[in-house]
Structure 1
Amino acid sequence: MAQPSYRTIVRYYWMQMRKHRGYFAMVFVMYAIGVVFAGLITPLLYRHIIDVLAASPDPLQAWPTLVRLLIYVGATMIIYNAAYRLGDFAIVRFESKTMKDLMDFAFTGLTRHSYRFFTNSFAGSLVTKVKRFVRSFEDAFDAISFVFWMTVVRISGVIIVLFITAPFLAILFLGWTVLYILFAWYLTKKKIPLDLAESTADSRVTGRLADVITNVLNLKMFSSRTREISDFVDITEDERKARHRAWTFGNKINIIQAVFFALLEFSSMAIALYMWRNGLISAGTVVLILIYLIAMFESLWDIGKAMGRVSQKFADASELVEILETPIDIQDIADPETINTGSGEIIFDHVSFRYGKKTNRVFADFSLHISAGQRIGLVGSSGAGKSTITKLLLRFADVEKGKILIDGQNIAGVRQDDLRSKIAYVPQDPILFHRTLYENIAYGKPNASKEEILEAAKKAHAHEFISKFPQGYETLVGERGIKLSGGERQRVAIARAMLKNAPILILDEATSSLDSVSEKYIQEALHELMKNRTTIVIAHRLSTIQGLDRIVVLEHGKIVEDGTHTELMKEKGVYANFWQHQTASFIK
């Protein structure tokens, strides 16, 4: 996908900025008033003071005029300080509110993407991109309001005043300013690819760092710290090179700008002194020009640096904007149907599916009918299509051809959230939120009562180990539930599924991490949970599914056997062969 343009980035920012137009306008109005009084009117008063001092040999005669001018100076100080402080108040309110809205907007937009998108992305890198998107707004808006806007107001005022007092200098200033800004913008555009490369390299470092920290157990178990350090050093070296190129180019821009400023400063002062020598301007006007020159040079120098800073911040923001601009691969239709409240009949009707255009089909004209309330097990070698069936049923991916029906209704025609509300899913390796045990169980039914949560935990045999923690249900489980054992995490996930009480249940070998004693109790709880529910069990250990109503054996995306455990054992086919290998391995 093409890199988002500045216009696109600004459009995303403006969507949230416009909600706070009042504060937005107040920022620019107050800062404009402050600049006019501090940067334009006050120097004019100083010019008058100097002219009075130069023209009046008698201090007593000049004193009343000087007092009046001093009062004016005091009044302007009060006005511009009040304006600046009101502007500061407005920008704090505006930026804090807008940044909150941008964070909410980014979170909403990011979570709209499909499960497949997140499996192909580094979690740490995504977090960094969201934070950068929000922080970049703050930095860019600060540059626009404090540098660009104030400079525009100051330069406009200076040129107007100079057109009145020294027209030739005004024309020189105006021409030079336009030339400088155009040249600075040209150099900034040249720097944009370098800023993008730096941001990309930084994201790679963040992603690798998060990946290693997440997999620190593997790092320790495989004694791979030295190897990971070596790889990390290579990645940070790429980041250093990208940053060095961007910063070096920025220094070259500064050198060119310094030459521009030196030439203008020298020529402007020479012209001003020449005009004073010939009696065209007063000494006060020379001082006024000097004050304006210093202010303009500082402002224009800041503009050059601010252009580079805004370019860098927009490069940072572009990474998330690119994600927000990426089409959502799994979308709800414009006018979705209301989902049926049936009993859970599932039909895969001549389904074809592949994970990518250049990959082989997982299913080609695949059909499967699961009656309401039926408990089936899916068996097959790795890659046979077991997990793909559950992903398609949950709409983590969409079919190429055919359709999937639940209670006679095409799942592509209902909202994804409505569809998934009818399905409880217990994965083989549950991942929990870094929240309390109570919150993790309640995730299956946010409005559940405490009694319902405790009952679900007891049925899943999670209450026993939870009660042993000093904080009980208020115990934080750590990132991804790392403080719990695999079996404990699985029991929490089972409790969550029990609480959800959905008509369709998917179990991805939900007892694989349990000890034999716990497994006995959990199997009893799961059998109770399966009653009157359509249940799909992905089986890795065949002993866990032999009591199900039906077992479907898959090979290369096709159903090769279908029946009960007893029936399939009598056929002495693929299933019987799997069973024989597992029991033989167990006996050995």
Structure 2
Amino acid sequence: MAKNPFRRVIPYYWRQVKKYKWPFFMMFGAYGGATIVTQLVPLYYRDIVDVITHADTPALVADRLMSLMLAIAILTLTYNALYRLGDYCIVKTHGLVTRALADYAFSKIQAHSYRFFSETFAGSLVAKTRRFIQGYDSIQDQFLFSFWMTGIQFVSILVVLFALAPLIAAIFLFWCCIYLVITFVFVKVRTKYDLSEATADSAVTARLSDVLSNVLNIKIFAARFREEDTFGEVTTQQMKARTAAWNFDTIQNTVQGLFMALLQVGGLYFSIQMWLAGTISNGTIVLIETYLAGIFGSIWHLGKSISQVGKSVSYAVEMVDVFEQTPDILDPVKPEKVRIRKGAISFKNITFLYGPNTAAVFNNFSLDIPSGERVGIVGHSGAGKTTITKMLMRFADISKGSIEIDGQDIRAITQDDLHNNISYVPQDPLLFHRTLRENISYSKPGATMKEIITAAKKAHAHEFISAFPDQYETLVGERGVKLSGGERQRIAIARAFLKQAPILILDEATSSLDSISEMYIQQAFNALMEGKTTIVIAHRLSTIQKMDRILVIEQGKIAENASHTDLIAKKGIYYSLWSHQAGGFIEE
């Protein structure tokens, strides 16, 4: 049986709240005290009515009324002081707790592997994170201003009524028990509607994010109306889920409203009967009706609050699912100290599958790359070229065997330590919506401006950067959209120059460059590769001619392994690829 969503969500909120528990508890104490004070005021109104209706001597009445008014004034001032103290505490704790929740969510999301992000919509994650934090806001407010304060109001009224009108108190208590049972039954049933609505909302957010990220494709393929139709299908499901939830809410409100009316009429009827019997005074009738009128609104709001908490929990539990999903790539419990210095790489009898029910991409695969060697890897799409780099960087874990760098198993160290020793330039680099300076220095936090400019010059990026009005302080737009593909590639290459790691991986790193830029970049790469173990994944074979050796990968195996010259002389697979190039690229 699935665990109750409420029991799954609340512990995550409490872990952050208890870091600031004293102002948190003071907040509840202050608001609770203010609520108690407000329940004392009607007692003095009762006395005012009784004094007026049983007036004897005007002078005595005036003195008595002045005393009562003074007491009410003192209570009002006390209420305001306590309420303002509660406001101060809620302001103090709210920002701290929501920041802690945001930091925690951000940390847990980042702990997941690259594969997790490739299979999950970014927009959906953003929506889940936002709703998780907003859920705390809602749940705290409902617990504080509804459950807590209504509970104190209820107990206070019950104590007074049992002292003054036990029959009314007993009827009120019995009614409240039935009302709360009905409310909780409604909330339990409503949870499935809230979960459906939350899922539908996430689907809309994910679809919208996907569309906005692919606007160019939509324009190119004239797919605007097609996407509108598809988006309409998603929003229709959202509408149906929301309508179902709202219809159920209407039924709940109708039933609760009838019970409220029943109590209101019943309370008034029995109060009048007791007054006619002479068991309560005029002032007590006013007191009872004042209490009932006040508690009606609070209990009605309590029912709405219970529903709102259920809805907030249903939204927040989506993020808890992310928290409780174990990352498929984990750091060792006791990581070893990094011993990577020269960058010698060894794949030892490794087996790799993308999933439990998929065929092995590599089976008993071995490869040794000595320190400082430059290796080019070629092959048709799907041969496993990029998978080699994914395994080396632990973007995906192997099923059998081991991968070692300088004799150290990469699974024995943290992923951060591994990545700090590898410079990686992907085929399609994505940039942060930050300045060019920040994007280049991302590989080396704290890099000086001189180092950044030097790296940019080596990557042949300095010239186009200098052409911008703000130069290195230019914002590049979301994912670097303000730059061309070649410019983004050169920024990524500049990062690699700046990082100076012992291992360099170039995954189609020159694929977006024109021929002239490629010539300059190749010259720069030769300098960058000096003393580094380098792996170059290439479709453009001209980029790997000067590698120490070239591996031809076919169906997860090394089909050929030699220098460019030797492979051409051999007239095997590589020779065939070279002979059938189109524009310098391998024909698929």
Q: Which amino acid aligns with 2:207?
A: R
Match of 1:445 in 2: 444
Q: Give 1:279 shift.
A: 0.6
Q: Which amino acid aligns with 2:447?
A: A
Match of 1:22 in 2: 22
Match of 2:63 in 1: 64
- Alpha-carbon contact 2:5-2:314 (below 8 Å) kept: no
Which deviates further from its counterpart, 121-130 or 473-482?
Answer: 121-130
Q: Alpha-carbon deviations, 1:373-419, whole Å to 9, x = none?
A: 00001111111111111011101111110000000000000011000
Match of 1:163 in 2: 162
Match of 1:489 in 2: 488
Q: Give 1:180 shift.
A: 1.1
Match of 1:476 in 2: 475
Residue 8 (structure 2) pairs with residue 13 (structure 1): no
Match of 1:416 in 2: 415
Taking the aligned partners of 2:253 and 2:349, their CA distance within structure 1 comes to: 66
Q: Give 1:57 shift.
A: 3.8
Call closer, same or farther: CA 1:215–1:167 in 2, change over 3 Å: same
Q: Which amino acid aligns with 2:262?
A: L
User: Following superposition, which runs of at least 4 residues in structure 1 exceed 6 angstroms of deviation?
Assistant: 584-588
- Alpha-carbon contact 1:460-1:522 (below 8 Å) kept: yes
SS at match of 2:560: strand
Taking the aligned partners of 2:2 and 2:473, their CA distance within structure 1 comes to: 47
Match of 1:377 in 2: 376
Q: Which amino acid aligns with 2:313?
A: F
Taking the aligned partners of 2:419 and 2:137, their CA distance within structure 1 comes to: 38
Match of 1:349 in 2: 348
Call closer, same or farther: CA 1:66–1:304 in 2, change over 3 Å: same
Q: Which amino acid aligns with 1:26?
A: M
The root-mean-square deviation of aligned C-alpha atoms, in Å, is 1.4
Match of 1:213 in 2: 212
SS at match of 1:540: coil
SS at match of 1:279: coil
- Alpha-carbon contact 2:539-2:585 (below 8 Å) kept: no
Aligned-residue sequence identity (percent) comes to 50
Taking the aligned partners of 1:532 and 1:584, their CA distance within structure 2 comes to: 31
Taking the aligned partners of 1:515 and 1:435, their CA distance within structure 2 comes to: 26
Residue 52 (structure 2) pairs with residue 47 (structure 1): no
Taking the aligned partners of 1:3 and 1:396, their CA distance within structure 2 comes to: 32
What are the equivalent positions in structure 2 for 1:263-274 lying under 5 Å apart?
263-274=262-273
Match of 1:149 in 2: 148
- Alpha-carbon contact 2:379-2:385 (below 8 Å) kept: yes
Q: Give 1:264 shift.
A: 1.2
Q: Which amino acid aligns with 1:18?
A: K
Q: Give 1:349 shift.
A: 0.3
Q: Give 1:574 shift.
A: 1.1
- Count residues in correspondence: 587
Call closer, same or farther: CA 1:30–1:236 in 2, change over 3 Å: same
Q: Give 1:58 shift.
A: 3.5
Taking the aligned partners of 2:276 and 2:3, their CA distance within structure 1 comes to: 57
What are the equivalent positions in structure 2 for 1:332-343 lying under 5 Å apart?
332-343=331-342
Match of 1:104 in 2: 103
Q: Which amino acid aligns with 2:110?
A: T
Q: Give 1:59 shift.
A: 2.8
Taking the aligned partners of 2:327 and 2:512, their CA distance within structure 1 comes to: 35
- Alpha-carbon contact 1:547-1:565 (below 8 Å) kept: yes
- Alpha-carbon contact 2:540-2:586 (below 8 Å) kept: no
What TM-score, normalized by structure 2, do the two folds share?
0.98
Taking the aligned partners of 1:47 and 1:420, their CA distance within structure 2 comes to: 75
SS at match of 1:552: strand
Match of 2:279 in 1: 280
Taking the aligned partners of 1:124 and 1:583, their CA distance within structure 2 comes to: 38
What are the equivalent positions in structure 2 for 1:93-242 lying under 5 Å apart?
93-242=92-241
Q: Give 1:360 shift.
A: 1.2
Match of 2:402 in 1: 403
Taking the aligned partners of 2:322 and 2:143, their CA distance within structure 1 comes to: 25
- For structure 1, the residue ranges without an aligned partner over 5 or more in a row are none
Match of 2:568 in 1: 569
SS at match of 2:423: strand
Q: Which amino acid aligns with 2:101?
A: L
Match of 2:35 in 1: 35
Call closer, same or farther: CA 1:320–1:3 in 2, change over 3 Å: farther
Q: Alpha-carbon deviations, 1:159-211, whole Å to 9, x = none?
A: 01111001111111112112211210111010011001101101111111111
Taking the aligned partners of 1:187 and 1:586, their CA distance within structure 2 comes to: 65
SS at match of 2:443: coil
Q: Give 1:2 shift.
A: 5.3
Q: Which amino acid aligns with 1:45?
A: Y
Q: Give 1:355 shift.
A: 0.8
Call closer, same or farther: CA 1:217–1:151 in 2, change over 3 Å: same
Q: Give 1:4 shift.
A: 6.4
SS at match of 1:366: strand
- Alpha-carbon contact 1:3-1:318 (below 8 Å) kept: no
Taking the aligned partners of 1:92 and 1:248, their CA distance within structure 2 comes to: 36
Q: Alpha-carbon deviations, 1:112-143, whole Å to 9, x = none?
A: 01000000111111111111111111111111
Call closer, same or farther: CA 1:413–1:220 in 2, change over 3 Å: same
Taking the aligned partners of 2:30 and 2:49, their CA distance within structure 1 comes to: 29
Taking the aligned partners of 2:584 and 2:538, their CA distance within structure 1 comes to: 17
Q: Give 1:583 shift.
A: 5.3
Taking the aligned partners of 2:202 and 2:150, their CA distance within structure 1 comes to: 34
Taking the aligned partners of 1:3 and 1:43, their CA distance within structure 2 comes to: 44
Taking the aligned partners of 2:134 and 2:348, their CA distance within structure 1 comes to: 49
SS at match of 1:395: coil
Which deviates further from its counterpart, 215-224 or 81-90?
Answer: 81-90
SS at match of 2:355: coil
Taking the aligned partners of 1:3 and 1:197, their CA distance within structure 2 comes to: 17
Call closer, same or farther: CA 1:356–1:586 in 2, change over 3 Å: closer
- Alpha-carbon contact 1:3-1:322 (below 8 Å) kept: no
Which deviates further from its counterpart, 48-57 or 193-202?
Answer: 48-57
Taking the aligned partners of 2:57 and 2:193, their CA distance within structure 1 comes to: 63
Call closer, same or farther: CA 1:493–1:18 in 2, change over 3 Å: same
Q: Give 1:341 shift.
A: 3.4
SS at match of 1:480: helix
Call closer, same or farther: CA 1:582–1:390 in 2, change over 3 Å: same
- For structure 2, the residue ranges without an aligned partner over 5 or more in a row are none
Q: Give 1:5 shift.
A: 2.2
What are the equivalent positions in structure 2 for 1:502-521 lying under 5 Å apart?
502-521=501-520
SS at match of 1:582: coil
Which deviates further from its counterpart, 74-83 or 60-69?
Answer: 60-69
Taking the aligned partners of 1:199 and 1:141, their CA distance within structure 2 comes to: 20
Residue 494 (structure 2) pairs with residue 457 (structure 1): no
SS at match of 1:405: strand
Q: Give 1:500 shift.
A: 0.4
- Alpha-carbon contact 1:378-1:537 (below 8 Å) kept: yes
Taking the aligned partners of 2:362 and 2:291, their CA distance within structure 1 comes to: 75
Taking the aligned partners of 1:583 and 1:90, their CA distance within structure 2 comes to: 70
- Alpha-carbon contact 1:4-1:321 (below 8 Å) kept: no
Taking the aligned partners of 2:421 and 2:201, their CA distance within structure 1 comes to: 41
- Alpha-carbon contact 1:4-1:318 (below 8 Å) kept: no
- Alpha-carbon contact 1:4-1:322 (below 8 Å) kept: no
Call closer, same or farther: CA 1:280–1:150 in 2, change over 3 Å: same
Call closer, same or farther: CA 1:533–1:2 in 2, change over 3 Å: farther
